[in-house]
């Protein structure tokens, strides 16, 4: 966080010209370095005493194969911490970029994957499997095994988004207002159905549900990364092509059209990319809040709202933030673990309020 | 040249515009006037390709219905009545958005400095680094005009005129800037482009328009040069207001006409 503040201080001069792209490029370089640092830190921290030093030594020695790591440390690093690190990077960048894209799409700095019901739909899918997996949905469990839960969450998010799109699009035109309201209604419906499932759940299922609903990276495996990694990477790689159109959309949908942006296609691609990224994230890590809203906000204050820089910067900072939060979860009550959603909400919500109070005029809320 | 033939526009079940014929050529400033709710903005939205319409609209001989968004963006730019933003863009960033999909007509090197030139044009020199949301309504309107000017900086391209669509461009401006903005529109037309402006000030309209289209209840009530259109009977019928053209008030009642400006 100190790097961020320092950068804001040194590049005031660039703002006076109104062109913040040099500052934004510098910020992206700094954010890359930050992500490398947080990654190393994340690999080195945890309940076990496999320290940063032993991680480094382990890498060097396993390359020279003179003195291999002990079997225990090797398992901790390659099978537990490395997949967890990668999952944190994937989920953190997916949530932050999804937030930034939705905010651009809705022309509203408060839009969030949670707001249009995508997360709620994913949750419904996942909770269905947790509660009904042993009974009603047991044929599915037999068919997909451990993949059933992530798959159901992903499908829940996708179905919600598709219904949402059908409701709010008429004759090829999407009304953002209708979409926002329909999203809230669909989200409420999904949450009500989830509530019914929670009501009929037994004690063991409730424990699972609570942990999953609060969000966690604890279940990270190479298998999960193999499944959601490609989805998130493809969705994220689509977003740079949306950035100029999203910038024009800030003026209004009509004006973006006047500027030559194919608005309908832009909205369609953005919706698909966001629902895929969010569905995949919720599937493997549950409900991790505030990343999608705090990260783009913070970056807009620092480098401005130009999506050409905001989207990659959001991916980098979102990943770093989630890794730091996860490191806190793993160490603060070691050897137990806090759900990561508690940490992101505890840090994110007051920070978000602080941003609102400080920049109320400029954000024009 | 823009030609619109037998244009009808329906929104939902209500017919907003009926059987309007309209044309504006290179070098011309066409003004659309009429009372509130007469369909002026709706008609301009159809010309902008924003609303579906019946009839036929062509830009330099090409059918608007067959043009891609970026093709339309390179023959016309549109200034909306007002634009509110939710994100803290700087003035320069807004003006630069004018270069998103169209073609300014200048080299990429010149384009770097184009936002500053456009801002100087609308009397906002030195405003580049200010936040758009901190400006007054009139200043925001002029920033948007600078953005629109960037989009079609060269009034003529590929041998054909390009067009500015201005929806009440002077509604929130003081009199000095009203004249300045109307002169920018005038210059754009003089350099071979075309301008379509929705105006409410009949004096400014008389002063700057080559052709006036008077709309009344979704139909064209009159069209032609100012002298033919600005008549007592037309104004009485359309605006339902008993006004006399060319009559000055008594000697003890001051009045200020834009025509008296020393431009």
In a domain, residue A108? The reply is: yes
DSSP secondary structure code for residue B131 in this structure: B
Q: Considering only the beta carbons, identify the residue of A16, A260, A301 that sits closest to B100.
A: A260
| Mean of the per-residue pLDDT values of chain B | 94
More confident residue, A88 or A177: A88
Q: Which of B49, B87, B91, B132 to mutate to test the interface with A (most CBs of A within 10 A)?
A: B87
In a domain, residue A365? The reply is: no
Q: Considering only the beta carbons, identify the residue of A258, A259, A305 that sits closest to B89.
A: A305
More confident residue, A240 or A179: A240
* pLDDT for res B160: 93
Give every strand in the sheet of B62-63, ordered side by side: B14-24, B2-11, B54-59, B62-63
The answer to whether B151 contacts A259, with C-beta atoms less than 8 Å apart, is yes
Q: How many domains does chain A have?
A: 1
Res. A72: pLDDT tops 90: no
The domain that holds B186 is classified in CATH as: 3.40.50.300
Q: How far apart are CA B99 and CA B150, in angstroms?
A: 6
Identify the domain containing residue A133 by its residue range.
2-12+21-360
Which tens digits make up the pLDDT trace of B134-153?
A: 999 999 999 999 999 999 99
Chain B partners within 8 Å of A16 (Cβ): 129
Longest CA–CA span in chain A (Å) reads 68
B62-63 vs B211-216, strand pairing mode? unpaired
Between positions 196 and 255 of B, the ones with CB within 8 A of A are none
Q: How far apart are CA A252 and CA B50, in angstroms?
A: 12
Q: Which of B86, B95, B127, B167 to mutate to test the interface with A (most CBs of A within 10 A)?
A: B86
Q: What is the mean pLDDT of residues A195-217?
A: 83
Res. A49: pLDDT tops 70: no
What is the CB neighbour count within 10 angstroms for residue A168? Answer: 21
* pLDDT for res A10: 40
* pLDDT for res A221: 86
The answer to whether A250 contacts B102, with C-beta atoms less than 8 Å apart, is no
* pLDDT for res A66: 44
Give yes or no for B12 touching A (CB within 8 A): no
* pLDDT for res B46: 96
Confidence category of residue A174, pLDDT binned at 50, 70, 90: low
- Its ipTM equals 0.92
Confidence category of residue A146, pLDDT binned at 50, 70, 90: low
Q: How many residues does chain B have?
A: 263
H-type alpha helices, chain B: 40-47, 69-73, 91-96, 108-121, 137-151, 175-190, 202-208, 226-229, 232-239
The answer to whether B87 contacts A109, with C-beta atoms less than 8 Å apart, is yes
The domain that holds A158 is classified in CATH as: 1.10.3470.10
Q: How far apart are CA A273 and CA B81, in angstroms?
A: 33
In a domain, residue A127? The reply is: yes
* pLDDT for res A144: 79
More confident residue, A213 or B126: B126
Take residue A143 and report the two structure tokens written for it: 């068919």
Q: Considering only the beta carbons, identify the residue of A304, A359, A365 that sits closest to B93.
A: A304
Can you give the pTM of this predicted structure?
0.86
In a domain, residue A89? The reply is: yes
Res. A175: pLDDT tops 90: no
More confident residue, A232 or A69: A232
- Minimum mean pLDDT range among A60-69, A168-177, B149-158: A60-69
Chain A residue set in contact with B, beta carbons under 8 Å: 15-20, 107-109, 244, 247-248, 250-252, 254-255, 257-263, 300-301, 304-306, 359, 361-365
Res. A359: pLDDT tops 80: no
Q: How far apart are CA A291 and CA A94, in angstroms?
A: 9
Q: Are residues B211 and B223 in contact, defined by beta-carbon separation less than 8 angstroms?
A: yes
Q: Are residues B73 and A259 in contact, defined by beta-carbon separation less than 8 angstroms?
A: yes
Take residue B58 and report the two structure tokens written for it: 């062509």
The answer to whether B90 contacts A18, with C-beta atoms less than 8 Å apart, is yes
Which tens digits make up the pLDDT trace of A94-144?
A: 999 999 998 888 777 777 777 678 888 988 988 888 888 878 878 887 787
Q: Are residues A46 and A58 in contact, defined by beta-carbon separation less than 8 angstroms?
A: no
Q: What is the mean pLDDT of residues B197-208?
A: 96
Give the C-alpha distances (Å, rounded to integers) separating B62 from A79, B3, B69, B161. 63, 10, 13, 13
Confidence category of residue A65, pLDDT binned at 50, 70, 90: very low
Q: Which residue matches tokens 């456009």? A: B118
- Minimum mean pLDDT range among A111-115, A189-193, B25-29: A111-115
Q: What is the mean pLDDT of residues B232-244?
A: 93
Q: Which of A304, A214, A237, A271 is nearest to A93 (CA)?
A: A237
Is A48 buried (19+), middle (13-18) or exposed (0-12) by CB count in 10 A? middle
* pLDDT for res A127: 87
Q: What is the mean pLDDT of residues A191-202?
A: 90
Identify the domain containing residue B20 by its residue range.
2-260
Q: How many domains does chain B have?
A: 1
Chain A partners within 8 Å of B80 (Cβ): 252, 254-255
- Minimum mean pLDDT range among A28-42, A127-141, A219-233, A243-257: A127-141
Å between A116 CA and nearest CA of chain B: 18
């Amino acid at each position: 966080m100190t790097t961020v503040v320092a950068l804001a201080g040194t590049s005031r001069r660039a703002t006076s010209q109104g062109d913040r792209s040099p500052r934004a490029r510098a910020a992206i370089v700094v954010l890359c370095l930050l992500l490398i640092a947080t990654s190393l830190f994340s690999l080195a921290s945890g309940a076990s005493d496999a320290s940063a030093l032993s991680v480094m030594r382990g890498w060097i020695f396993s390359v020279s194969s003179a003195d291999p790591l002990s079997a225990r440390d090797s398992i901790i690093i390659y099978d537990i911490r490395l997949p967890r690190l990668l999952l944190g990077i994937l989920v953190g960048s997916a949530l932050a970029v999804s937030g930034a894209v939705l905010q651009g799409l809705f022309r509203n700095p408060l839009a969030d994957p949670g707001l249009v019901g995508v997360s709620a739909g994913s949750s419904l899918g996942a909770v269905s499997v947790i509660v009904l997996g042993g009974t009603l949905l047991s044929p599915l469990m037999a068919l997909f095994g451990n993949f059933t839960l992530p798959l159901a969450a992903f499908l829940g998010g996708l179905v919600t988004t598709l219904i949402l799109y059908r409701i709010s699009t008429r004759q090829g035109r999407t009304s953002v207002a209708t979409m926002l309201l329909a999203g809230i209604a669909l989200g409420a419906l999904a949450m009500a159905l989830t509530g019914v499932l929670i009501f009929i759940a037994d004690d063991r299922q409730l424990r699972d549900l609570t942990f999953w609903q609060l969000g966690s990276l604890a279940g990270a495996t190479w298998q999960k990364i193999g499944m959601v990694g490609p989805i998130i990477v493809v969705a994220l790689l689509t977003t740079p092509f949306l950035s100029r159109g999203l910038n024009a959309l800030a003026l209004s949908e009509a004006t973006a059209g006047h500027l030559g942006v194919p608005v309908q296609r832009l909205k369609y691609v953005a919706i698909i990319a966001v629902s895929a990224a969010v569905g995949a994230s919720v599937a493997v890590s549950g409900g991790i809040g505030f990343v999608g809203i705090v990260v783009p906000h913070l970056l807009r204050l620092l480098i401005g709202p130009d999506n050409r820089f905001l989207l990659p910067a959001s991916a980098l900072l979102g990943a770093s933030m989630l890794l730091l939060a996860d490191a806190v979860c793993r160490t603060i009550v070691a050897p137990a673990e806090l759900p990561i959603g508690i940490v992101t909400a505890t840090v994110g919500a007051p920070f978000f309020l602080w941003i609102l109070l400080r920049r109320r005029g400029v954000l024009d809320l | 040249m823009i030609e619109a033939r037998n244009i009808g526009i329906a929104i939902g079940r209500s017919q907003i515009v009926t059987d309007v014929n309209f044309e504006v050529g290179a070098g011309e400033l066409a003004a659309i006037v009429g009372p509130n709710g007469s369909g002026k903005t709706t008609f301009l939205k159809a010309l902008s390709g924003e609303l579906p319409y019946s009839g036929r609209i062509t830009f330099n001989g090409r059918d608007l219905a067959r043009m891609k968004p970026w093709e339309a963006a390179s023959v016309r730019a549109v200034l909306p009545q007002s634009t509110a933003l939710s994100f803290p863009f700087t003035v320069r960033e807004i003006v630069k958005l004018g270069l998103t999909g169209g073609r300014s007509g200048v080299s990429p090197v010149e384009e770097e400095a184009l936002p500053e030139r456009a801002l100087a044009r609308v009397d906002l020199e030195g405003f580049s680094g200010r936040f758009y949301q901190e400006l007054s309504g009139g200043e925001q309107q002029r920033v948007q005009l600078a953005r629109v000017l960037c989009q079609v900086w060269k009034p003529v391209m590929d041998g054909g005129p390009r067009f500015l669509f201005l929806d009440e461009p002077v509604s929130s401006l003081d009199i000095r800037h009203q004249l300045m903005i109307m002169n920018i529109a005038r210059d754009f037309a003089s350099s071979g482009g075309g301008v379509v402006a929705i105006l409410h000030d009949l004096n400014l309209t008389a002063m700057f328009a080559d052709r006036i289209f008077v709309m009344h209840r979704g139909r064209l009530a009159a069209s032609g040069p100012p002298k033919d259109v600005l008549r007592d009977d037309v104004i009485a019928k359309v605006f339902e207001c008993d006004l006399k053209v060319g009559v000055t008030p008594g000697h003890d009642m001051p009045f200020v006409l834009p025509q008296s400006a020393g431009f």
